[in-house]
């Protein structure tokens, strides 16, 4: 699995690419803890119910995955540009 983060801005910020093994999270206690953490960090717009091993919100049902990183690539944009790699 490859997960990419960052922004569409070309000359500032940090982009990350995470390579690793993704596994679906279905444990409802773990999902409830994660749902509570989302609300705490991002506010009530990110409120999810946990039902049948998934997040359920206004937009529908969302499956949740945990990624065990194997390699992460970081790309710094702006002055100075740079890149690095971390292996786990």
pLDDT tens digits, one per residue of 35-84: 999 999 999 999 999 999 999 999 999 999 999 999 999 998 888 889 99
Q: Taken in order 8, 9, 11, 12, is the CA torsion positive or negative? A: negative
| Residues spanned by the domain of 37 | 2-87
Q: Please answer whether residues 15 and 69 qualify as being in contact, where contact means their C-beta atoms are separated by less than 8 angstroms.
A: no
Structure token pair of residue 79: 């002055």
Q: Considering its fold, how many domains does the chain have in total?
A: 1
37 token code pair: 């953490």
pTM listed for this prediction: 0.73
N- to C-terminal Cα distance for the chain?
15
* Cβ contact 13:4 at 8 Å: no
């Amino acid at each position: 699995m490859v997960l990419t983060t960052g922004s569409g801005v070309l000359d500032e910020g940090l982009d990350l690419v995470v390579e690793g093994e993704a596994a679906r999270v279905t444990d409802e206690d773990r999902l409830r803890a994660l749902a509570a953490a989302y609300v705490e960090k991002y506010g009530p717009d990110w409120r999810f119910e946990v039902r049948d091993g998934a997040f359920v919100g206004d937009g529908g049902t969302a499956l949740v995955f945990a990624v065990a990183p194997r390699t992460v690539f970081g790309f710094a944009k702006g002055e100075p540009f740079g890149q690095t790699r971390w292996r786990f």
